[in-house]
Amino acid sequence: MSNMHKIIDVDYERNQAGGEHSKEYIHAIMDQYVLHKGKYFETDSVFIIYKDLDENTVEIHCINGGSGADLTEAINALLKQLAISYKKVVTYYDNPRVNDLVKYSYFPAKVEKIDDGLDRTYEMSFELRS
């Protein structure tokens, strides 16, 4: 889990410092998630947690300690794995810069502005198969 903490630290300083939760709080929440066998995908610089929304759809949340290219590569690798069992993946976020990553998706993807509260300004969805 030490690599996860390093990724959280970098992402926290970039995107969440001074926000509602401390870095230590986020570490504790993620430690519990992993301890209780939550689903996740990890690279050297990206940690992605995911959960089933229904039998065909997965929701992902990304913690990026690397570049936009690192994030895109990690998401594409995870999507290829998920395509075996699922039809659709969604993620929610606030950072508008993430919208540009959709053009590098291995699968058809779209972005919608939904303004549904904190961490839910945008929804990006990926169609893995029909």
pLDDT in tens, 75-109: 999 999 999 999 999 999 988 989 999 999 999 99
Can you list the domains of the chain with their CATH numbers?
A: 39-127 (3.40.630.30)
- The pTM of the full predicted model, rounded to 2 decimals, is 0.89
Task: Output the pLDDT for position 21.
Answer: 87
As a whole number of angstroms, the distance between CA 123 and CA 110 comes to 8
Beta-bridge partner residues of 50: 39, 60
Task: Output the pLDDT for position 119.
Answer: 76
Task: Name, in order, each residue with C-beta under 8 angstroms of 57's C-beta and a sequence gap of 6 or more.
Answer: 86, 87, 88, 89, 90
Parts of the chain with a pLDDT under 70: 1-2
